[in-house]
Amino acid sequence: MAYFEWADDLVIDHGPIDADHRHLVDLVNELHTATSEGRGREVVNKVLNELIGYTSAHLQREEARMAAVHFPNLAGHKIGHQHFVDSLNDLRQKYEAGSITVAAQLSTVLRDWLSLHIRRSDKELLDFIRKNQAKSGSGP
């Protein structure tokens, strides 16, 4: 069983947002493997940088999609994204400063934030899209 399992209740759009989320899940698993197997700093750093880069690209793509469909809670959603980026950067700094305990925390923080954020906050986009489609009569 993977450290971070993909599950049906993580599905948002059966499209690009899910593809991003699935890739993030894969990267969190990769990071977890690297840290739990005690891989060298070089390997962990590489995965961590990829994860942070991909996360910020995903958040921007998601916000652009939300803006395009006039999602009403975009401002609030952006604040949640920013908090997460801040805490991730903070952890990376601590990790780079040599904190060994941070390495193990990283995959936990990422997994917990992502699964909760997708299930609670990103899901609001799914509900909004569904409501709009019902209104325009184009089905679920």
Separation between Cα atoms, residue 94 and residue 101, nearest integer Å = 9
Number of residues in contact with Fe ion under rule CB under 5 A: 2
Owner of token pair 């489609």: 133
- Closest residue to Fe ion, judged by C-beta, is 122
Q: How far is the CB of 21 from Fe ion (least distance, A)?
A: 6
Closer residue to Fe ion (CB): 30 or 122: 122
Q: Report, in Å, the least distance between residue 76 CB and Fe ion.
A: 11
Cβ atoms within 10 A of the Cβ of 38, count? 8
Closest approach, Cβ 113 to Fe ion, in A, equals 10
Neighbour count for residue 75 (Cβ, 10 Å): 8
Of the candidate residues 42, 122, 123, 135, the single one contacting Fe ion (CB under 5 A): 122
Nearer to Fe ion, 71 or 95 (CB): 71
* CB-nearer residue toward Fe ion: 5 or 16: 16
Q: How far from 72 is each of 50, 102, 120, 127, 128, CA to CA, in Å? A: 31, 36, 15, 12, 9
Which positions from 54 through 73 interact with Fe ion, judged by CB under 5 A? 62
User: Which residues, in sequence order, are CB contacts of 79 under 8 Å at separation 6+?
Assistant: none
Spatial distance between the Cα atoms of 95 and 32, rounded to a whole number of angstroms: 14
Decide: 34 and 44 in contact? Cβ < 8 Å. Answer: yes
Q: Smallest distance from the beta carbon of 121 to Fe ion, in angstroms? A: 5
Work out whether 30 is an interface residue with Fe ion (CB under 5 A): no
Q: Which residues bind Fe ion (CB under 5 A)?
A: 62, 122
